[in-house]
Amino acid sequence: MKNRVVITGLGVVAPNGVGVAKFTEALKNGTSGITFHQQLKDLNFSCQIGGIPNISEALQSKYFTDLQLRGFNSSGILYGCIAGIDAWKDAGFNINAESELDADTGLIFGTGTSGVEKFREAIYKLDEGNVRRLGSTVVLQTMTSGVSAYLSGMLGLGNQVTTNSSACSTGTEALLMGLERIQHGKAKRMLVGSCSDHGPYVWGGFDAMRVMTYKHNDSPKEGSRPMSATASGFVPGSGAGALVLESLDSALKRGATIYAEVLGGAVNSGGQRQGGTLTAPNPTAVQHCIVKAMENSGVVAHDIDVINGHLTATSKDGLEVENWTKALHRKGNEFPYINSTKSLVGHCLAAAGAIECVASVIQLKKQFIAPNINCEDILPEIAALVHFEKIPQQKIETTFNTIIKASFGFGDVNACVVFKKFTL
């Protein structure tokens, strides 16, 4: 018998809102966090807009000591630690440097690459023959598990502490890995999430692939257009999301606030076969992942009320919606509501899954469906499959029980999770 698992804490650092309260308001109001960045223009980027969370120095100092901030230059770790600490406190825990080791709580916090700006600094020094002057924190800031190392130490976590990496499905995969650990009794609580650095050194490779939009440098807030006929590529984002997963037993014993239940999910790969490549998904595998996620959760397609899609605003949105219709055997009027958080925050890459899982859980807990912005002109191939009312342009307040969230990543990898409104 698997343990039931619930969510008892949330934290988020998103381009359109830092902290759960501000992010919730931004979701409700359809507030875009996309802005123009002169640095990208100066570096001759085609796409000169992006989503960067607004973190003041004063806010940083609430989470990091002066010593930790000396020579610190890793935005992903910064975002990850803020989101992680917020989630931990939100779940009702304190932070105390002298606390007992918490052997029942672990951490799976994913990322794509860590501390690229710090790595760049180091490479310049190193190439000048100055390796001896790198300082003591280059390894910690640039190792992929850096965020997990910083965060677990701040909290004193003593169960498994690790970092996963599966491109843009990283955050959703981290959640599912934490889920399994609690389901199987190996931990009582898992802090899960993911983060991504901001800036040209992370985003440049995508710009070079011409998968980011270059058509909205003068209209950044209209740039991220998932499901739109005039979508022209994704807008890069950054940030972090974090969730405290907890066994139902532990949550009830503590009297913790429960946001939602994680019913289950699935991860798989399309193996870069049947249309799948390093950069494109195998549609059969995507559908299989969605079907397996529902099976694993003990729900049927008819139970799904809302879909929070991957939906990036590249040429693959139509295929994704088609995959949902096939996996659920539902379309037109019968299709669930569907939205893309990326219309508001851009594509936060390795952080996307976690930020969007947080967005999904907030919508479920607060019983609203966030608007999709910038898709007044729905892509015809999507409009042919799904009734336009199922793609909300305005916030919808409604009662619903189940939201399904999927994330897909380079390397043809998929992750899908089902959240349900909590009832005993």
Partner 1 sequence: MENNELISKLKAIIKPYIQDEDAFKNLSEDTDFVKDLKINSANLVDIILDIEDEFDIRLENEDMEKMLDVKSAMAIVNTKLAG
Residues lying near partner 1 in the complex (CB under 8 A): 66-67, 70-71, 133, 135-136
Question: Is the distance from CB of 220 to CB of 374 less than 8 angstroms?
Answer: no
Q: Among residues 58 and 67, whose Cβ is nearest to partner 1?
A: 67
Shortest separation between residue 153's beta carbon and partner 1, angstroms: 11
Shortest separation between residue 197's beta carbon and partner 1, angstroms: 23
Give CA separation, 352 vs 323, 398, 407, in Å.
20, 25, 8
Which residues, including other chains, have CB under 8 Å from residue 142's CB and lie 6 or more apart?
74, 114, 115, 116, 118, 119, 122
Q: Among residues 65 and 274, whose Cβ is nearest to partner 1?
A: 65
Amino acid at 229: A
Q: Among residues 130 and 219, whose Cβ is nearest to partner 1?
A: 130
Q: Look at the block and give the residue holding tokens 């997990």.
A: 148
Q: Cα 288–364–50 angle (5° rounding)?
A: 80
Q: Among residues 43 and 143, whose Cβ is nearest to partner 1?
A: 143
Residue-wise burial string across 284-298, b where 16 or more C-beta atoms lie within 10 A, e elsewhere? bbbbbbbbbbbebbe
Shortest separation between residue 149's beta carbon and partner 1, angstroms: 12
Rg (CA), the chain: 20
Q: Among residues 39 and 65, whose Cβ is nearest to partner 1?
A: 65
Shortest separation between residue 136's beta carbon and partner 1, angstroms: 4
Q: Among residues 139 and 209, whose Cβ is nearest to partner 1?
A: 139
Count Cβ atoms within 10 A of the Cβ of residue 394 and give its class: 0-12 exposed, 13-18 middle, 19 or more buried: exposed
Shortest separation between residue 64's beta carbon and partner 1, angstroms: 13
Shortest separation between residue 67's beta carbon and partner 1, angstroms: 6
- H helical segments located in 64-131: 66-69, 75-90, 116-127
